[in-house]
Structure 1
Amino acid sequence: MSITSTVKRSRSEPAEVRPLQKGQQTKAAIVDAALGLATQIGLEGLSIGALAEVMQMSKSGVFAHFGSREELQISVVREYHARFEEEVFYPAIHTPRGLPRLRALFDNWMKRTSVEIDSGCIYISGAVEFDDRPGPVRDALASSVNTWLTAMRRAIEIAVEEGHLRADTDAAQMGFEIHAQILALHYEARFLRSPNSLQRALAAFEGIVTRFSAVPASPPAARPRKTAASKA
């Protein structure tokens, strides 16, 4: 189920659990290990040989599950996206429509980002590695990121429909600015190790919300003017 599609079944409802066959279990374990490696060394650092060593398998054993390094990389991108959905998008669905849901999406995104400051983000590192390299891996990365950003823009549009944001709000612009805070946070916190980066990102988000809010911030209370009588 895509995060941009209508949620037809509550995520709180138990899904039918089907036991994985041995081959599926092995493949899932390989993808999990590959994702762990990719967060540290990037998608380009993945190789059948390195993964076989981590899994204590033969190269041919790993190759049999994927067929190519490219297919392995795409599987990692899809697994990362599935986990991103589970941690960021689906929990926010249970919050009220509009600004509360938009805040929940950003809060969940920030929670994940705070962990990835140490482990790394596949979306960001993958963009650096594949931004100018056309092909299936780049397509898989771009599709995943665009799916998430589309969901964020839709949340903004719903906030407009609910009257929480101004009717003339440009959802694409607001989404761009929110995304920019996450990218800046990764750069500041992970690369520059700047202190208070998380707090600054949160403050920036609140500034964006305030600027697009349908309810203007209350002006500071005016001080009473001094009269001739009060001066006496």
Structure 2
Amino acid sequence: MSPRKSLAESRLTRQRILDAGLVIASAEGLEGLTIGRLAAELGMSKAGVIGHFGTKEGLQLAVIDAATAMFVREVPERARGVARGLPYLRAACEAWISYLERELLPGGCFFTAAAAEFDGREGPVREAIAHADQLWQRELRLNIRRAVSLAELPPHTDIDQLLYEIVAIMLALNHFLQLHGDRRAPARARRALERLW
């Protein structure tokens, strides 16, 4: 086997592990993600799984990276090319609703579940979850500021309050979809967002 083929196969195996890990972690939490569980799920040895990540924490951090990449692909990337400011906020929020509505992961929003699981802890896993959340909030905040500066939103808009309300609507959407199976929740989220603009 050539080194190039071996490297390509290793990357594919790693991606298979991450894809399965993301599904498990979304529904059962990052603590429910174990090397043994993944090995059994994928028909691999524990050593074969651990060889790609080193430790359980390494696996958890890699799954957070995979979840971040999925979110970026499904939300901000779908708003790419839309004018910054209020048009971007509308497009990004619609993409965010669509991401939750399409149930790409069995546990709904990965970061909502992971934040609840790790918000009272310390360490690299919590820091990675918080960092991903901060980056997305920064993107939203920048576009709220731009919308105010372009007079797309009123000049007295409380930027932090508006950001808080956007995030709160999305958390409520995930809650009603996941806990109650409420298929009307996306429409309610859209109506709630329209009241903010």
Gaps of 5+ in 2: none
Question: CA separation of 1:115/1:42 partners in 2, compared to 1, >3 Å: closer, same or farther?
Answer: farther
One-letter amino acid of the counterpart of residue 91, structure 1: R
1:160 corresponds to: 148
| 1:126 is aligned to 2:114 | yes
1:176 to 161, 164, 168: 164
2:125 corresponds to: 137
For 1:118 and 1:46, the matched residues in 2 are separated by 15
Q: Deviations over 1:73-93 (max 9, x none)?
A: 110011110111111102212
Question: CA separation of 1:115/1:135 partners in 2, compared to 1, >3 Å: closer, same or farther?
Answer: same
Contact 2:141 2:159 in 1 (8 A): yes
Shift in Å at residue 36 of structure 1? 1.6
1:21 corresponds to: 8
One-letter amino acid of the counterpart of residue 37, structure 2: A
For these two proteins, the number of residue pairs brought into alignment is 192
One-letter amino acid of the counterpart of residue 120, structure 2: D
| 1:189 is aligned to 2:177 | yes
For 1:31 and 1:200, the matched residues in 2 are separated by 33
- Which has more helix, going by share of residues? 2
2:75 match: secondary structure:
helix
1:116 match: secondary structure:
coil
Question: CA separation of 1:161/1:65 partners in 2, compared to 1, >3 Å: closer, same or farther?
Answer: same
Shift in Å at residue 195 of structure 1? 5.2
Shift in Å at residue 118 of structure 1? 6.8
Q: Deviations over 1:18-68 (max 9, x none)?
A: x96322222122111111211222211100000011111100111111111
Q: Matched residues, percent identical?
A: 39
For 2:34 and 2:17, the matched residues in 1 are separated by 12
Contact 1:131 1:138 in 2 (8 A): yes
Contact 1:117 1:186 in 2 (8 A): no
2:190 corresponds to: 202
For 1:32 and 1:60, the matched residues in 2 are separated by 18
1:3 corresponds to: none
Q: TM-score, normalised by structure 1?
A: 0.78
1:77 to 41, 44, 64: 64
1:151 to 139, 159, 162: 139
